[in-house]
Amino acid sequence: MSFNLFLPSRRIFLGTSAVGVAALAMPGAFGADLVRTPKSTEGPFYPNKLPLDTDNDLLVINDGTVTTVGEITHLTGKVMDKNGLPLKNIGVEIWQCDGNGVYLHTADSDKKKDKQDKKFQGFGRFTTGKTGEYYFRTIKPVTYPGRTPHIHVKIKKNGKDLLVTQFYVDGEKQNASDGVYNNIKDEKQRANVSVAFEKIKDSKKGELSANFDIVLGVTPED
């Protein structure tokens, strides 16, 4: 199966068949089987100075070219309510350290100016479509001192935070010693935030795909 993944657009959405979309449109579909995405600490490095470019392509700042350090990753997923209904017009934000382990936050980047990858946006936003889908082009997360590789996610509606969480690289050895990861006691919830990063067939750049579906414990009001 081939994927058209090379234009960052809300129309790009992996792994969704017509049957899957139809099922998600049914009230309560799979609701009993859904595992709610666990909340997590926001951490100290939510950007305190947002970049001029905050779109969903973290590899290109303004109209530059891709020179970012790291493994290019196409991140997709859906945002659903507790009953399995897709949520549209939901804000999804992600942030992570760059390929050299530096966050877009002055408390971190000011200390590591010589290491920071200034070609990496570090933060991005996306608004979900009618089937709850989102898409980002970013890099596979790398180790940060004291932490296993992870990406932070914040879900918002009308300026209100609905969920702050993190997701991790499935099978990463450092997960076993990461305090935040191991604070998730429910095995199903831990599996929910353990995401496979898979090579995209025929990608000449060695690009990866990852899918992280998010289930909220609430049903946001319109």
Average pLDDT score over residue span 136-162: 96
Q: Are 49 and 99 in contact (CB under 8 A)?
A: no
Taking alpha carbons only, the member of 148, 142, 165 closest to residue 46 is: 165
> Which residue did the predictor score with more confidence, 26 or 219?
219
Domain ranges of the chain: 35-215
Q: What integer pLDDT is reported at residue 35 of this predicted model? A: 94
Q: What integer pLDDT is reported at residue 128 of this predicted model? A: 98
Residue keyed to tokens 């999804």: 92
Instruction: Please state the pTM of the whole predicted model.
Output: 0.84
Q: What is the CATH number of domain 35-215?
A: 2.60.130.10
Average pLDDT score over residue span 89-102: 97
Rounded to 10 degrees, what is the CA torsion of 216, 141, 67, 201?
A: -80
Chain centroid offset of residue 114 CA: 27
pLDDT in tens, 44-90: 999 998 888 899 999 988 777 777 889 999 999 999 999 999 999 99
